[in-house]
């Protein structure tokens, strides 16, 4: 008898939790709304929607934010997500440095710190990261109790469901998933996400891909990654590895890639490849202002210096980026034929070169794509820049934690 009596309640609770989680996701993604609109969006009665709102107010999830425009009579009361309910910690890890960022639930930056910790496939990396993070939180008076969870974005072959990064297996003891290791240290929920997919979600939620259904994002960083949105959803593939554009072979007789293959796109178009090509050109006698920028010490040469020289009109640097853009465009032309996107968004370190990188990409796509594929296609430099990756990691973390909060 007890089981029979409990079943309807469990069904009601499941439906109520689904409405709660959908409502909080809607407020996170779209902003304030009224009870009447909530009821319409989630197919609930006004009394049910009112009850759920009152529950969420008591629990500190939402607050009254003001009134909206009225068609007739009293203006509707608006409700929004309580930004101060929790803070989140985002770890943005790459081969050049690491960013530690605290957001509130309105995606407002609370505090951030860039630390000189470069991703390295050894156990020592995490110990250094833990020490830097603990100091970051302590110096900003942020206790772990204030944090809802931690989002981690990094390069590599990441299986999000298993919490592992197959490219960097030596970060943790054998058999211990990276997410488990991080959870054990911080005693908080942790989401691990590939950096390019994080960027893609950021663009889809907050950038040029908003309300777009078929999108490619190209992340030109220390490696080259492709983010894919099909029918409005990020495409992950069977294991979460989809989009490794940088490891398609483009030069069978080319250089050895760090992945162990020969002639990958990464070897001629990544930030690392660009710096190598610049040094080779300088050693061969090419005239350039890059030597002045780095005071004749080529060991100091970074992509930022090359982009600075490009904007200053340096012919050698412009040629370098033009060649990189052309090769990227050839690779993207294949992706365009496979996925037929409506928009391509260019992001990552080299996107800071603006039209000096996007124009040769577009010209190569025009040259190597069938004409019918180009008609609906537009190409944009990301307006969010590096923030797309941070916001995408935050959005992924929020959506994951809401589902856990209201199962």
Q: Look up the domain containing 176 and give its range.
A: 87-198+389-405
- What values do phi and psi take at 122, rounded to 5? -150, 155
Same domain, 251 and 345: yes
> Tokens at residue 297, please?
């010490």
DSSP string, 22-62: HHHHHHHHH--EEHHHHHHHTT--HHHHHHHHHHHHHTTSE
Residue 254 and residue 98: Cα distance in Å, rounded? 31
Query: Is 113 in contact with 129 (CB distance < 8 Å)?
Result: no
Tell me if 3 is assigned to some domain: no
Residues 163 and 52 in one domain: no
Q: Count of CB atoms within 10 A of residue 390's CB?
A: 24
Q: What is the pLDDT of residue 5?
A: 40
pLDDT at 43: 86
177 CB neighbour count, 10 Å cutoff: 16
2: CB partners within 8 A, 6+ apart: none
State whether 220 and 314 are in the same domain. yes
For residue 349, is it within any domain?
A: yes
Q: What is the pLDDT of residue 194?
A: 95
Query: Are 106 and 60 spatial neighbours (Cβ–Cβ below 8 Å)?
Result: no
Helix (H) or strand (E) holding 112: strand 109-115
Domain end residue (candidates: 81, 100, 121): 81
Residues 106 and 189 in one domain: yes
pLDDT of residue 2: 41
Q: Is 67 domain-assigned?
A: yes
Question: What is the per-residue pLDDT across 80-122, written as a single tens digit (0 to 9) for each?
Answer: 999 999 999 999 999 889 999 999 999 999 999 999 999 999 9
What is the rounded average pLDDT of the residues 370-376? 89
Domain assignment present for 165: yes
CATH number of the domain bearing residue 337 = 3.30.420.40
Regarding whether 341 and 249 lie in a shared domain, the answer is yes
**Residues pairing with 92 in the sheet:** 99, 153
Length of the chain: 407
Helix (H, G, I), strand (E, B) or coil at 3: helix
282 and 345 fall within a common domain: yes
Residue 61 DSSP SS3: coil
Q: What is the CATH number of the domain that holds 15?
A: 1.10.10.10
Of 31, 47, 81, which residue constitutes the final position of a domain? 81
What per-residue confidence (pLDDT) applies to 353?
94
153-192 confidence digits (pLDDT tens): 999 999 998 999 999 999 999 999 999 999 999 999 999 9
Encode 151-175 in three state secondary structure: EEEECCCEECCCCEECCCHHHCCCC
Q: First CA to last CA across the chain, in angstroms?
A: 25
In a domain, 299, yes or no: yes
What pLDDT, on the 0 to 100 scale, is given for residue 237?
A: 92
- Same structural domain, 148 and 232: no
Burial 102-138 (b: 16+ CB within 10 A, else e): bbbbebeeeeeeebebebeeeeebbebbeebbeebbe
> Does 205 fall in a domain?
no
Would you state the pLDDT for residue 9?
Answer: 58
- Does 182 lie in the same domain as 58? no
Question: Given a cut of 90, is residue 315 above it in pLDDT?
Answer: yes
* Domain end marker among 35, 50, 81: 81
Asked if residue 215 is part of any domain, the answer here is yes
Strands 378-381 and 343-347: parallel
Residue among 207, 331, 199 nearest 270 (CA):
331
Both 118 and 157 in one domain: the answer is yes
Q: Per-residue pLDDT for 50 more than 70?
A: yes
157, 228: one domain? no
List pLDDT tens digits, range 340-371. Answer: 999 999 999 899 999 999 999 999 999 999 99
Residues with Cβ within 8 Å of residue 278, at least 6 apart in sequence? 288, 290, 301, 306, 316, 317, 320
The strand order across the sheet containing 224-230 reads: 233-234, 224-230, 215-220, 343-347, 378-381
Rg (CA), the chain: 24
Contact predicate 223/217, CB 8 Å = no
Number of domains in the chain: 3
Same domain (yes/no): 254, 401? no
Domain assignment present for 204: no
What would the pLDDT profile of 242-299 be if each residue is shown by its tens digit?
A: 999 999 999 999 999 988 999 999 999 999 999 999 999 999 999 999 999 999 999 9
Number of H helices, E strands in the chain: 14, 15
Residue 323 and residue 268: Cα distance in Å, rounded? 9
Residues 276 and 339 occupy one common structural domain: yes
Mean pLDDT, rounded, for 22-34: 92
Give residue-wise pLDDT tens across range 8-17: 457 777 888 8
Structure tokens at 333: 């032309």
Task: Report residue 262: phi and psi, to 5°.
Answer: -110, 135
Q: What is the 3-state secondary structure (H, E, C) of 195-220?
A: HHHHHHHHHHHHCCCCCCCCEEEEEE
Tell me how far apart the alpha carbons of residues 348 and 256 are, in angstroms, rounded to a whole number.
Answer: 23
């Amino acid at each position: 008898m007890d089981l029979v009596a409990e079943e309807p309640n469990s069904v009601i609770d499941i439906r109520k939790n689904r409405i709660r989680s959908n409502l909080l996701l809607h407020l996170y993604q779209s902003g304030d709304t009224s009870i009447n609109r909530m009821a319409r969006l989630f197919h609930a009665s006004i009394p049910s929607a009112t009850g759920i709102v009152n529950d969420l107010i008591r629990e500190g999830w939402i607050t009254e934010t003001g009134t909206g425009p009225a068609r007739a009579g009293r203006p509707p009361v608006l409700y929004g997500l309580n930004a101060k309910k929790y803070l989140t910690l985002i770890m943005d890890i790459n081969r050049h440095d690491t960013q530690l960022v605290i957001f509130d639930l309105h995606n407002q930056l609370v505090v951030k710190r860039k630390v000189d910790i470069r991703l390295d496939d050894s156990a020592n990396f995490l110990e250094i990261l833990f020490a830097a993070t603990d100091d970051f939180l302590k110096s900003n008076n942020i206790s772990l109790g204030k944090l809802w969870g931690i989002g981690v974005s990094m390069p590599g072959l990441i299986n999000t469901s298993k919490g592992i990064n197959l490219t960097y297996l030596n970060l943790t003891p054998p058999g211990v998933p990276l997410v488990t290791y991080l959870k054990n240290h911080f005693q908080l929920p942790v989401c691990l996400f590939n950096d390019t997919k994080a960027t893609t979600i950021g663009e889809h939620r907050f950038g040029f891909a908003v309300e777009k259904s078929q999108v490619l994002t190209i992340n030109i960083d220390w490696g080259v990654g492709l983010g894919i949105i099909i029918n409005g959803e990020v495409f992950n593939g069977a294991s979460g590895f989809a989009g490794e554009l940088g490891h398609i072979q483009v030069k069978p007789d080319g250089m050895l890639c760090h992945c162990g293959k020969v002639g990958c796109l990464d070897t001629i178009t990544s930030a690392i490849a660009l710096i190598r090509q610049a040094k080779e050109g300088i050693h061969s006698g090419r005239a350039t202002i890059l030597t002045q920028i780095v005071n004749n010490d080529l060991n100091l040469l970074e992509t930022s210096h090359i982009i600075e020289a490009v904007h200053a009109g340096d012919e050698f640097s412009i040629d370098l980026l033009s060649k990189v853009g052309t090769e990227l465009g050839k690779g993207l032309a294949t992706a365009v034929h496979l996925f037929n996107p409506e928009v391509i968004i260019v992001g990552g370190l080299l996107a800071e070169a603006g039209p000096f990188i996007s124009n040769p990409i577009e010209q190569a796509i025009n040259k190597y794509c069938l004409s019918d594929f180009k008609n609906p296609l537009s190409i944009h430099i990301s307006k969010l820049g590096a923030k797309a990756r941070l916001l995408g990691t935050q959005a992924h973390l929020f959506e994951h934690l809401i589902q856990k909060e209201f199962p």
